[in-house]
Amino acid sequence: MTEQTHNVAQHEDNKLIAERRAKLAEMREQGNPFPNDFRRDSTAAELQEKYADKSKEELESMGIRVAIAGRMMLDRKAFKVVQDMTGRIQVYASKDVQKETRHWDLGDIIGVRGTLSRSGKGDLYVNMDEYVLLTKSLRPLPEKHKGLTDMEARYRHRYVDLMVNEDTRKVFQTRTRLINSMRNYFAERGFMEVETPMLQVIPGGATARPFVTHHNALGIDMYLRIAPELFLKRLVVGGFERVFEINRNFRNEGLSTRHNPEFTMVEFYQAYADYNDLMDLTEDMLRRMTQEVLGTTTVVNTRELPGGEVETVEYDFGKPFDRMTVVDAILRHNPDIQAGQLGDEVSARHVAERLGIKLKDTSGLGKVLTEIFEATAEHLLVQPTFITDYPKEVSPLARCKDSDPFVTERFEFFIGGREIANGFSELNDAEDQAERFRAQVAEKDAGDDEAMFYDDDYVMALEYGLPPTAGEGIGIDRLAMLLTNSPSIRDVILFPHMRPEHKAEHQKAADDQEGTQ
């Protein structure tokens, strides 16, 4: 939109807003313009479903009276379209009613009582004989044919996006069904839903940079949690052997189509289980969830390729999921790499350098292998795949494999080239955990602001004894992206974080200026 076009549009909006404010002022003189005594007894979807098979003649003979309420989205003089949370339904206004409701505008919230009928075209409607304006909308809705198409505007003003874009409403309805399906799955298997602190003295459970705040009464700095893991495992120590939490986490990191600083996960822990048990559980849960939420175990996504072409991909949750180790994945997707080149740090570093991967001087063989995997194989894991046996160096909370202590009993779950879940057999050796925390502190002192803190209380909890346990975290937002075919994490978060609008405009102007130089 050019600046001139934008200014014209803004002028028209201001004119319409002024007209609506004048109508509201007139209404104030006649009494309270925001009544709260109307009660509906039906929703649009209930009526559409309940009377779907009733003809016009049948409805007329039944004389069904209903009370509905919602936002007026279309005004076709005699017929107006009302939208509530469940959908849309028409209301019919006679000429006399049209005169009495002439001060109504699109976007107004109205209450209507009347008899149910069907039009000659077959549409269900309410013949309104009682009506009231419940809330005056002072701002005009987006133009009905163009809707709200600017993505930034949709994210910033989600309330308008939800009003006018049915696809947006469906995305968040799907997200809710996804969460409900998971919650029911855990409840059926004896997991206890719990809540753990979001404000923590020591942030733990993941390698990430935390947000810092200050507690005035306690006089201490605190952190928004980066994961609930260490508290959930404390509960397992305490005797709650199966726990889960649908939780909000906060990580002070960059923004991207896959990352938001505030995001939702489900984390769950099961005593007397290992990472193989959780891979089986995850596969079963996701298969059932897709069937319940979508009605099929085949998830269809479209994605844009680097050249601009659009590709359609089908993800099959009905088939057994692939399982392979980190090293196996590297070898499968890099035919020119030999297994012997990954067996020691010097050789692996040569491979990484040849691939153009930048490494820290402090990175050992485990981190080097992980960097090679993430750069060359991760994005190629299209169908549901578990990657196992992550090196101990990058898994500070996971139990080492008895057969090979260099790696841990850990997996990550990928689909469409995205990591969706991370799980492992928990480290329950208090002395080993203390040593790993000390190694993390050394990395933090060396400049790694994502390394973990030393958590004395958690080590003490382990000293009381954590039973053999497996735990996992699944990213709800990324899973919602998958099930709703959404290209950006902002599409599945109701209120995603964005740069303040005045700063965003300044940044855009700077970018435009740079582009002209």
Q: Rounded to 5 degrees, what are φ and ψ at 484?
A: -110, 5
CA 173 to chain centroid: 12
- Shared domain for 403 and 277, answered yes or no, is yes
pLDDT of residue 517: 41
Q: Is the pLDDT of residue 315 over 90?
A: yes
Within 415-500, residue ranges assigned H as helices are: 430-445, 456-464, 476-484
**pLDDT interval class at 390 (50, 70, 90):** very high
Cα–Cα distance measured from residue 242 to residue 201, given in angstroms and rounded to the nearest whole number: 25
DSSP string of 336-360, one letter each residue: T--GGGGSSHHHHHHHHHHTT----
Q: Is the pLDDT of residue 349 over 80?
A: yes
Residue 494 maps to a domain: no
pLDDT of residue 45: 97
- Shared domain for 125 and 202, answered yes or no, is no
> What CA–CA distances, in Å, run from 411 to 251, 378, 420?
22, 13, 11
**130-154 burial, b if ≥16 CB within 10 A, otherwise e?**
ebebbbbbbebbbeeeebbeeeeeb
Beta strand pairing call for 192-193 and 124-135: unpaired
pLDDT of residue 386: 98
Q: Is the pLDDT of residue 288 over 90?
A: yes
CB 348 within 8 A of CB 338: no
CATH of the domain at 20: 2.40.50.140
- Shared domain for 112 and 211, answered yes or no, is no
Residue 488 maps to a domain: no
Cα–Cα distance measured from residue 263 to residue 251, given in angstroms and rounded to the nearest whole number: 8
Q: Quick check: helix, strand or coil at residue 318?
A: coil
Residue 354 maps to a domain: no
Number of domains in the chain: 2
Residue 162 maps to a domain: no
pLDDT of residue 309: 85
**pLDDT interval class at 131 (50, 70, 90):** very high
Q: Closest Cα partner for 20 from 122, 137, 101, 134?
A: 137
Q: Is the pLDDT of residue 508 over 70?
A: no
- Shared domain for 44 and 133, answered yes or no, is yes
Residues 6+ apart with CB under 8 A from 201: 220, 222, 223
First to last CA, the chain: 22
CB 225 within 8 A of CB 249: yes
Tell me the average pLDDT across 438-449: 86
Residue 233 maps to a domain: yes
- Shared domain for 203 and 284, answered yes or no, is yes
Higher-pLDDT residue of 506, 305: 305
CATH of the domain at 223: 3.30.930.10
Across 145-154, 221-230, 386-395, 435-444, least confident range: 145-154
pLDDT of residue 383: 96
pLDDT of residue 98: 94
pLDDT digits (tens, 9 = 90+) for 367-383: 999 999 999 999 999 99
Tell me the average pLDDT across 338-359: 95
- Shared domain for 5 and 136, answered yes or no, is yes
**Would the annotation count 166 as a binding residue?**
no
- Shared domain for 125 and 259, answered yes or no, is no
Residue 21 maps to a domain: yes
- Shared domain for 226 and 125, answered yes or no, is no
- Shared domain for 110 and 243, answered yes or no, is no
Range of the domain at 90: 1-141
User: For all residues of the chain together, what is the average pLDDT?
Assistant: 92
pLDDT of residue 262: 94
Cα–Cα distance measured from residue 166 to residue 87, given in angstroms and rounded to the nearest whole number: 9
- Shared domain for 289 and 413, answered yes or no, is yes
CA 164 to chain centroid: 21
Tell me the average pLDDT across 424-432: 96
**Would the annotation count 426 as a binding residue?**
no
pLDDT of residue 403: 96
Cα–Cα distance measured from residue 147 to residue 72, given in angstroms and rounded to the nearest whole number: 15
Q: Quick check: helix, strand or coil at residue 443?
A: helix
Across 56-60, 129-133, 252-256, 510-514, least confident range: 510-514
Residue 255 maps to a domain: yes
pLDDT of residue 2: 53
CB 71 within 8 A of CB 109: yes
**pLDDT interval class at 409 (50, 70, 90):** very high
Within 341-455, residue ranges assigned H as helices are: 345-354, 365-376, 430-445
Q: Is the pLDDT of residue 515 over 60?
A: no
Written as one letter, the residue type at 431 is E
Cα–Cα distance measured from residue 388 to residue 319, given in angstroms and rounded to the nearest whole number: 19
Cα–Cα distance measured from residue 22 to residue 498, given in angstroms and rounded to the nearest whole number: 34
pTM over 0.85: yes
Cα–Cα distance measured from residue 131 to residue 122, given in angstroms and rounded to the nearest whole number: 24
Residue 164 maps to a domain: no
- Shared domain for 305 and 199, answered yes or no, is yes
- Shared domain for 118 and 216, answered yes or no, is no
pLDDT digits (tens, 9 = 90+) for 461-486: 999 999 999 999 999 999 999 999 99
**pLDDT interval class at 47 (50, 70, 90):** very high
